[in-house]
Structure 1
Amino acid sequence: MTQQFAGKTALVTGGGSGIGRASALALAAEGALVTVAGRTAETLKETVRLIEAAGGSARHVVADMTDEAQIERAVKAATADTGRLDIALNNAGYDGEYQLTKDYSTDMLDHMLALNVRGVFLSMKYELQYMVAQGSGAIVNMSSGAALVGVPGFSGYTATKAAEVAMTKSSALEVAPQGIRINAVCPGLVETPMIADMPAEDRKAFGAAHPLGRIARPEEIADAVVWLASDKSSFVTGIALPVDGGYSVP
């Protein structure tokens, strides 16, 4: 590893599993002090353990990323050592279940809006207060390939993930003069415990829906996060980067 983030602080929401955990591990491997935030202490502690076992530095903070006060507390925890926040990955999200629009659960939609839209918006609000004050920083919002195409049965989810892209673009333009970059990553289907438990024929069908013929590994999405957080993407801001095996190609 290059240790390109040595001396930098990073916050990863939804850092207890999946893409969040893989990204936290990848950022720590490059030298960042990583704070992982989320609702479940046990999974967050496991992420910290894995980072420390690999020689990195991390801590966890339990926070509901739909609650403004808890979001602010998580951001403050990430800045506790240096007063800085260099990197933020807003990854906490909820995808819900397959439901046609005419049958869509209002409660499910409300939870998606609270976490995927309001939670990401408030996370950026508090993260940017530090970044603007210090005159630098990189934010990555975890959207979805579903934000870029239509997905029957997931209209609420696609709407909230498209909102993340819109917030990313608008906020990126606001803070570009301060040297702060904000981008979004739009993954396709990613290997998770839920996917692993699917029947083999369903997994095969999901893989075939991606032109590269397979489902992504969380580490592949984490690689995109690291790139967007790094100086190697220093002239990139306001984009929605598909990392989806070609799924969203027209």
Structure 2
Amino acid sequence: MTQQFAGKTALVTGGGTGIGRASALALASRGAVVTVAGRTETTLKETVRLIDAAGGTARYVIADVTDEAQVELAVEAAAEDGRLDLALNNAGYDGEYQLTTEYSTAMLNRMLDINVRGMLWSMKYELRKMIGQGSGAIVNMASGAGLVGVPGFTGYTATKAADIAMTRSSALEAAPHGIRINAVAPGLVETELIAALDPDHREALSSAHPLGRIARPEEIADAVVWLLSDNASFITGVALPVDGGYSVP
């Protein structure tokens, strides 16, 4: 595999499982020194172990993106050698099905804390590093739910739409400094929760995607890697659907 990120440093928030882990593995396999950040030490250690076993270089840092000071420390850890070249802001919270008329204040606040404030804090400190060096690329993990309506997930769709709006605004700010910022908007992705569903429920979710299936985390990671790479050097401010056609009008 090409070492297109050789000599580059990368930060992945929410790097302990799922898309975050798959993206960290993909970046490391292409030569990046990857720092994975998150709240759960056991899953972060496993991501680092997998990267080490594959011949890559990785480290982890405990960080809750709802705490601005912890986010700043995570960025500093990733830029230990003085540079931060790549970042995936993947930490997120999707909550559970609740109609708008019954929506929990606590659940909405949690979503705002992680999906909106957490992403803003992450970009804030990543951009400070990148602006100082005059280069960098950031991908924010949005969702296909931020592009369409999803009954029972009003708060989630709102926060993911906010992620896309923040991506676009920050991309315009960062462009004069040689920094690109984009978002990926996945459909449903294979997780332990999805795997545990009964066959009928799983089939219904799969059929909601015109390609007739749910994505693998590695497929989303491929899009992340591409947007962070020089292959996407003239792309900034986009929200790329990777959703099997789910968001097509």
TM-score (ref. length: structure 2):
1.00
**Alignment partner, residue 60 of structure 1:** 60
Structure 1: how far apart are the matches of 2:33 and 2:25? 10
Any residues of structure 2 matched to 1:225-236 within 5 Å, and which? 225-236=224-235
How far apart are 1:217 and its partner, in Å? 0.1
* AA matched with 1:41: E
Structure 2: how far apart are the matches of 1:166 and 1:175? 14
Structure 2: how far apart are the matches of 1:158 and 1:23? 23
How far apart are 1:164 and its partner, in Å? 0.3
**Alignment partner, residue 116 of structure 1:** 115
Displacement over 2 Å in runs of 4+: none
Matched, 1:241 2:249: no
**Alignment partner, residue 3 of structure 1:** 3
* AA matched with 1:154: F
How far apart are 1:205 and its partner, in Å? 0.8
Name the SS for the 1:84 alignment partner.
Answer: coil
How far apart are 1:224 and its partner, in Å? 0.2
1:58-113 per-position Cα deviation (integer Å, ceiling 9, x unaligned): 00001111000000000000011x21000000000000000001100000000000
**Alignment partner, residue 159 of structure 2:** 160
Structure 1: 5+ residue stretches without partners: none
Name the SS for the 1:132 alignment partner.
Answer: helix
Structure 2: how far apart are the matches of 1:123 and 1:143? 14
Structure 2: how far apart are the matches of 1:102 and 1:56? 49
**Alignment partner, residue 13 of structure 2:** 13
CA RMSD for the aligned pairs? 0.4
Structure 1: how far apart are the matches of 2:134 and 2:121? 20
How far apart are 1:201 and its partner, in Å? 1.1
**Alignment partner, residue 219 of structure 2:** 220
Name the SS for the 1:201 alignment partner.
Answer: helix
**Alignment partner, residue 29 of structure 2:** 29
* AA matched with 1:147: G
* AA matched with 1:205: A
Q: How many residues align?
A: 249
**Alignment partner, residue 99 of structure 2:** 100
Structure 2: how far apart are the matches of 1:45 and 1:105? 33
Name the SS for the 1:171 alignment partner.
Answer: helix
Q: Indicate the percent of aligned positions where both proteins have the same amino acid.
A: 77
Any residues of structure 2 matched to 1:201-212 within 5 Å, and which? 201-212=200-211
* AA matched with 1:166: A
Structure 1: how far apart are the matches of 2:3 and 2:66? 33
Structure 1: how far apart are the matches of 2:129 and 2:39? 23
Structure 2: how far apart are the matches of 1:105 and 1:16? 27
* AA matched with 2:20: G
Structure 2: 5+ residue stretches without partners: none
**Alignment partner, residue 73 of structure 1:** 73
**Alignment partner, residue 180 of structure 1:** 179
Matched, 1:127 2:126: yes
1:178-204 per-position Cα deviation (integer Å, ceiling 9, x unaligned): 110000000000000000000011111
TM-score (ref. length: structure 1):
0.99
How far apart are 1:42 and its partner, in Å? 0.2
Name the SS for the 2:241 alignment partner.
Answer: strand
